[in-house]
Structure 1
């Protein structure tokens, strides 16, 4: 059994600590910390009501390395699970090194003043984590996270070579709002409005944001329009599985979402550079986040399912070309009944718990900075089946036609 410190009290943090509390044989002591302690306290009350487990709570400004180091020293966790904003990845990594704790996150670092997310800043910590004898696991959510594990599991058990990989993220949920995001609005909109990029034949191909649209029929959801986007696992998969000639990421969006987002862009509300209003400096996107529905509040009204997975084409272990589709379907209402959170938070929070379990039990171990696809996928895949995210595997007739 091990002690963990979870930083971040949004929907993902809530799911992660609920699921940790459901596994007391792995997680003996759980502390949840956030800038707003009252959010942590509310989650702790839900955890106690649902599981009978008491978790500790604390307040922390994760932008403050010294304060975060002091909290880690006081709690003495084996592992710090960073479920805060990606802007805070580096400060929390610094605090872990200073305090002597392992580190894990679900999304890579992104500077607050530039809509650019990549692994270079975190990969630069490799030597320092090796020298400290500490482990840092990057990207243990669903995408990145499970989709990378899906890829390496397919490579290990079904393919001698993967040639093309498509990651498909479909949220078929309906929350009844005119416009709302299912995770942090600021991060969501920065991702969606950034130029699309995909990996092909050893180079990045860039296209305008939301300019490539394809229809796909998702099991459990139905036909949806999905859009080509850039996502961080493309970078790490291209680095660690260089045999793959083409890697793409697709995400579904409804027409109403696209219409509202287009208007917001056109009037400047998605800008991330400061403007002066009544003598006060504000960032339009941060103001927009403040007036949009809080994602954690959407769980009670969201109905429908998510379907997230990968389609891989390549040379099978039987010597024949094949295309396999590996995916998970998650029900929003089931996720809410179990943890009080909708499925978008659930599909990230459960893999965060599983990644943490891999580390604290020593199933995954090794000093340095690791992406999830560098580690053995089998125990992670087993835990997905056991803890609410069962996966399915299908062979398709041939490569995707898009």
Structure 2
């Protein structure tokens, strides 16, 4: 059993803390810290009501390395689970090194002044974590996270090698709002409006955002338009599984979402560079975030299901085969269990599982690791037991598009 500090009190942090509290045999003590103490206290109250367990809360500015280090030295947790904003990853990693604490996150670092996310900044910490004898596990959410574990499980159990990999992320939920994002609006919009990139035959192929579209019939959801995007697990999978010739990431969006986003882009509301308004600097995208619905408020309103998974084509005993492995999650069931919709649930549960892998010693080692570098089997077992059951089926052939 171990004490864990969770940093970040959004929907994902809420789910992770609830699920940790439901597993006292793994997590003896759960502590939650965030910039806004009231959010932490609300989550702690919900956890107490649902599980009977107490969660200690702290106010913390995770950009302040000294303050974070001081809190770690006071609490002495076995692990920091970083569920804050990706801008804060490096500062939290610095604090973990200073205090001698293991680190885990769900999303890779992104500079606040540039809409560009990649692993180079965090991979650069490899030697420092190795020399300190500490573990840093990157990307234990759903995508990245589960989607990478799906790929390594398929390679271990179904294919001798993978030639092509497509990651398909479908949210079939409906919250009834004209325009809202299911996780942090600032991060969501930066991600969606970035150029699309796919990995093909050893190099990146880039296309303008939201210009390549296909329709796919998702089980439990139905036919949906999905758009080619860039997502960070493409980079880490291409690095750690270099045999894969092509990796693509697809995400579904409704027509109304695309229309709203296009208009917001056209009028400059998605800009991340400051503008002067009434003598003060404001960032349009941050202002837009402030006026959009808070993602956590959508939980009670959202109905429908998510369907996220991998389609992999490769060789098994010299014969080409294609497998589809995926999870279906129900928004209303997720809300009933944790008070959060399925987008938060599908990230928060894997965050708990990744933390469990580390604090139990199932996974470990000195250095910085991506999730696909470890044995997928115990992680996959916990997905089935803790709310994200998966299924796998063989397809007649690879995706035609």
- TM-score tier by shorter-chain length is over 0.9
Q: CA deviation at 1:156?
A: 0.6
Distance 2:176 2:275 in 1: 32
What SS is found at the alignment partner of 1:311?
strand
Instruction: Write out per-residue CA displacement over residues 265-289 of structure 1, whole angstroms, 9 at most, x where no aligned residue.
Output: 0000000000000001000000000
What SS is found at the alignment partner of 2:191?
helix
The equivalent residue for 2:10 is 10
Matches within 5 A, 1:325-364: 325-364=324-363
Q: CA deviation at 1:319?
A: 2.9
The equivalent residue for 1:382 is 381
If the length of structure 1 is used for normalisation, what is the TM-score? Answer: 0.99
The equivalent residue for 1:246 is 246
Q: Does 1:68 align with 2:68?
A: yes
Distance 1:321 1:199 in 2: 21
The equivalent residue for 1:145 is 145
Matches within 5 A, 1:16-31: 16-31=16-31
The equivalent residue for 1:222 is 222
What SS is found at the alignment partner of 1:313?
strand
What SS is found at the alignment partner of 1:91?
helix
The equivalent residue for 2:192 is 192
Distance 1:258 1:288 in 2: 16
Distance 2:333 2:158 in 1: 31
Count residues with an aligned counterpart: 401
Distance 2:194 2:160 in 1: 34
Query: Cα RMSD between the aligned structures?
Result: 0.4
Q: CA deviation at 1:320?
A: 1.4
If the length of structure 2 is used for normalisation, what is the TM-score? Answer: 1.00
The equivalent residue for 1:284 is 284
The equivalent residue for 1:99 is 99
Instruction: Write out per-residue CA displacement over residues 136-157 of structure 1, whole angstroms, 9 at most, x where no aligned residue.
Output: 0000000000000000000011
Q: CA deviation at 1:170?
A: 0.2
Matches within 5 A, 1:53-92: 53-92=53-92
Instruction: Write out per-residue CA displacement over residues 82-132 of structure 1, whole angstroms, 9 at most, x where no aligned residue.
Output: 000000000000000000100000000000000000000000000000000
Instruction: Write out per-residue CA displacement over residues 19-68 of structure 1, whole angstroms, 9 at most, x where no aligned residue.
Output: 00000000000100000000000000000000001010000000000000
Distance 1:136 1:100 in 2: 11
The equivalent residue for 2:272 is 272
Matches within 5 A, 1:254-269: 254-269=254-269
Distance 1:69 1:143 in 2: 29
Q: CA deviation at 1:7?
A: 0.1
Distance 1:143 1:308 in 2: 8
The equivalent residue for 1:204 is 204
The runs of 4+ residues in structure 1 deviating greater than 6 Å are none
What SS is found at the alignment partner of 1:159?
coil
What SS is found at the alignment partner of 2:228?
strand
What SS is found at the alignment partner of 1:380?
helix
Distance 1:161 1:67 in 2: 46
Q: Does 1:121 align with 2:139?
A: no
What SS is found at the alignment partner of 1:58?
strand
Distance 1:398 1:29 in 2: 48
Instruction: Write out per-residue CA displacement over residues 277-320 of structure 1, whole angstroms, 9 at most, x where no aligned residue.
Output: 0001000000000000000000000000000000000001x431
The equivalent residue for 2:173 is 173
Instruction: Write out per-residue CA displacement over residues 370-390 of structure 1, whole angstroms, 9 at most, x where no aligned residue.
Output: 000000000000000000000
Q: Which runs of 5+ in 1 are unaligned?
A: none
What SS is found at the alignment partner of 1:46?
helix
